Structure 1
Amino acid sequence: MELHQLQMLRELGELGSVKAVAETMSVTPSAVSQQISLLQRQVDTPLTRRDGRNLVLTDAGRVLADAGADVINAMATAKAAIGAYQHERHGTVSVSGFHSAGQALFAPLVRRLDELRRESGMREIPVADDRVRPGVAGGPGLAGAAVGVPRVRLSDEDVAQHDFPALTARYDLVLAHRMDHSPAWPESRVRVIPLAHEPLDIALAVDHPLAAKAELSPQDVVDYPWVASRSGYSPADVLAAIGAVASRPVNVVHRINDYSTAAALVSTGDVIGLLPRHTASPALNPGVTLRPLTGISTRRRIDLLVRPENLKRASVMLVAEALQQVMADLTASRPLPG
């Protein structure tokens, strides 16, 4: 078995189509099909099956793909042991972020990396093993190594919560969010670096009658018209909980995922909404104020998802550390609304 064949099988399981694998690995779809066919000839059990027009993994294919991921991680460990990854000086790190995270974090991240670049040309930079520990000061398993400051390639990927792990096939670091009650990330496939535990607050026009209150209950807000996200995204989950607690449905007038547009509509006074306390800051305008919601859980977890082998790369870990610092600065600058 060749390593690149196992990699293609792994990506097929993550991405769900030969075309997506080809785009991610910068090869042709026929090359992907050919390599998976060669891999299939080496085992007696079917590794893939047809599901409509797509080629998906069988249970045996998933087992082999998971084993292949372990091999890839082991190879990354071996490279790190001889310094091939740890001493890289000017790598490029790809980062994807959902929309509100991108608006709030991408520009400060670039500025943070520029600051590091302007410092002395060489400094001690943390280099990680694959043990992930939360926190800015310690961060993911650290050891000293002198490297340069990498460049970043940034993309916005606004997907439903369950689709974030698959993005690690395309990006070195994936900014992801999930509500507290939603399923945990699949830590057998990805490593998780926590960034924030962020409340979603009620967004109101500054002259709205509810703005006079310091905090709001589901009963306070359930009868007003709303702007909310589409199903599968954090605000929609909280809205469902509001309706359940208040024992009557919420009237959603507008379904909009972009927080800037939602905030603009809220500022008119015609609707109320839900906005994240910290990452929505670039979307807010002087006509909008936030109030905490009591009685239900409104917090979402913002995490970095990364494949285990990428934790061996000093450039990736430097960017992850910078994102931790940027998020810490953002949350410290936005206290409880009121």
Structure 2
Amino acid sequence: MDARRLETLLLLSRLGSMRAVAEETHTTTSTVSQQIAALAREAGTPLIEPEGRRVRLTPAGRRLAGHAVTILAALEAARLDLDPSAEPAGTLRVAGFGTVIRRSLMPIVARLAVDHPGVRVHIHEHEPAEALSLLAADGIDLALTYDFNLAPAPLDRTVDVRSLWSADWALGVPAADPWTDVAAPEVFARYRDHDWIVNSRGAADEQVVRTIASMAGFDPLITHRADSLALLQDLIVAGLGVGLLPADQETRPGVRLLPLKDPSPVLRTYAVVRAGRTGWPPLTLLLNLLRTVPGQPDPPVG
């Protein structure tokens, strides 16, 4: 099968229309249609079907588009193997949560623009479950995810998981509350009658809250859910509850961080790719660069 036609099919699966593919490749919709038709003849089965005024991939077309990712990556790896001096090139689709994008990915994107201009990065902000779903559907090439040591994410044999950096988390409370340095369950017990704030788009920190609260002998009242850590701090300042926050991040006035130990919640970050895809040179380059960037604290909030 012709590699250019496979690339056209892959773009169609990702962009959703022949017009979009034509614009991306600087060709015409007629050329795109002819490439797909020729590929269908090579495959011996229809790859697209009409959907109103547009087209969509048939089940066979979706399966072939999935194979195209691996085939094109192998061809690129072979090209570099025969010409080690060749510059990696391609567009990487990356999804991750806001903190890892700011701390780890953005510095790399700036470096790529200077050192490897042929590699482009498209960034999508998503919580781990959303990013992993996109990865499984081949909607992205790399997922930047996290879990907690007290709420470990299940392993999946269909993906390649690489550890990045980790960070301690603490309990965010109103600044007027006295500082304490005791075991986590005792800290939590002090706030058994308070409202609690957890993430609105992920369950990991809620699992940590419930785990430590159960060790303290109570069931926390989850009242508010917020995806933004800045909003979570606003809620704490307003006296609307308490919640977990990164221990290495400066807080806004009115918020105090109480350290937690025995157990200490630790957020762990990962780079996740589909198994067998790490040989694609642009992705290999990005994975290697990610391992060189430490998890620096975010800038102050507010």
- TM more than 0.5: yes
Superposed CA offset, 1:119-150 (max 9, x none): xxxxxxxxxxxxxxxxxxxxxxxxxxxxx723
Q: Which is worse superposed, 34-43 or 298-307?
A: 34-43
1:184 aligns with 2:182: no
Partners in 2 of 1:219 and 1:23 — Cα distance? 57
Contact in 1 for aligned 2:169/2:266 (Cα 8 Å): yes
Q: Select which of 325, 330, 337 maps to 2:292.
A: 325
Partner of 2:182: 214
Contact in 2 for aligned 1:90/1:149 (Cα 8 Å): no
- DSSP-derived class of the 1:212 partner: coil
Q: Select which of 121, 140, 150 maps to 2:116.
A: 150
Report the AA paired with residue 274 of structure 1.
L
Q: Select which of 246, 269, 272 maps to 1:302.
A: 269
1:99-138 counterparts in 2 under 5 A?
99-106=98-105, 109=108, 113=111
- DSSP-derived class of the 2:268 partner: strand
- DSSP-derived class of the 2:104 partner: helix
Q: Cα distance, 1:158 vs. partner?
A: 2.9
Partners in 1 of 2:283 and 2:47 — Cα distance? 32
Q: Cα distance, 1:43 vs. partner?
A: 5.0
Report the AA paired with residue 213 of structure 1.
D
How high is the TM-score relative to the length of structure 2? 0.66
1:237-316 counterparts in 2 under 5 A?
237-241=207-211, 249-278=219-248, 281=249, 284-285=251-252, 287-292=255-260, 294=262, 298-306=265-273, 311-313=279-281
Q: Which is worse superposed, 18-27 or 284-293?
A: 18-27
Q: Which is worse superposed, 196-205 or 20-29?
A: 20-29
Q: Select which of 230, 243, 256 maps to 2:200.
A: 230
Q: Cα distance, 1:97 vs. partner?
A: 3.8
Contact in 1 for aligned 2:90/2:120 (Cα 8 Å): no
Partners in 2 of 1:91 and 1:67 — Cα distance? 17
Partner of 2:163: 194
Partners in 2 of 1:317 and 1:231 — Cα distance? 29
Q: Select which of 193, 204, 212 maps to 2:173.
A: 204
Q: Cα distance, 1:66 vs. partner?
A: 4.4
Superposed CA offset, 1:53-99 (max 9, x none): 995774x6665444333322220221111226x54289887755421
Partners in 2 of 1:328 and 1:293 — Cα distance? 21
Structure 1, unaligned runs of 5 or more: 118-147, 332-338
- DSSP-derived class of the 1:193 partner: strand
Partners in 2 of 1:18 and 1:92 — Cα distance? 17
1:160-179 counterparts in 2 under 5 A?
160-165=127-132, 166=134, 173-179=142-148
Contact in 1 for aligned 2:198/2:205 (Cα 8 Å): yes
- DSSP-derived class of the 1:163 partner: helix
Question: What is the percentage of aligned positions where both structures have the same residue?
Answer: 23
Structure 2, unaligned runs of 5 or more: none
- DSSP-derived class of the 1:285 partner: coil
Partners in 2 of 1:329 and 1:99 — Cα distance? 13
Contact in 1 for aligned 2:47/2:58 (Cα 8 Å): yes
- DSSP-derived class of the 2:163 partner: strand
- DSSP-derived class of the 1:70 partner: helix
- DSSP-derived class of the 2:184 partner: coil
1:61-140 counterparts in 2 under 5 A?
64-83=64-83, 86-88=85-87, 96-106=95-105, 109=108, 113=111
Superposed CA offset, 1:153-202 (max 9, x none): 666533242332436957665432245532335645xx443202444432
- DSSP-derived class of the 1:184 partner: coil
Partners in 1 of 2:268 and 2:199 — Cα distance? 17
Contact in 2 for aligned 1:228/1:273 (Cα 8 Å): yes
Question: In the superposition, relative to structure 1, how do residues 10 and 24 fare at CA in structure 2: closer, same or farther (>3 Å)?
Answer: same
- DSSP-derived class of the 1:201 partner: strand
How high is the TM-score relative to the length of structure 1? 0.60
- The structure number with the bigger radius of gyration is 2
- DSSP-derived class of the 2:294 partner: helix
Question: In the superposition, relative to structure 1, how do residues 34 and 184 fare at CA in structure 2: closer, same or farther (>3 Å)?
Answer: farther
Q: Cα distance, 1:214 vs. partner?
A: 3.5
1:51-70 counterparts in 2 under 5 A?
58=59, 64-70=64-70
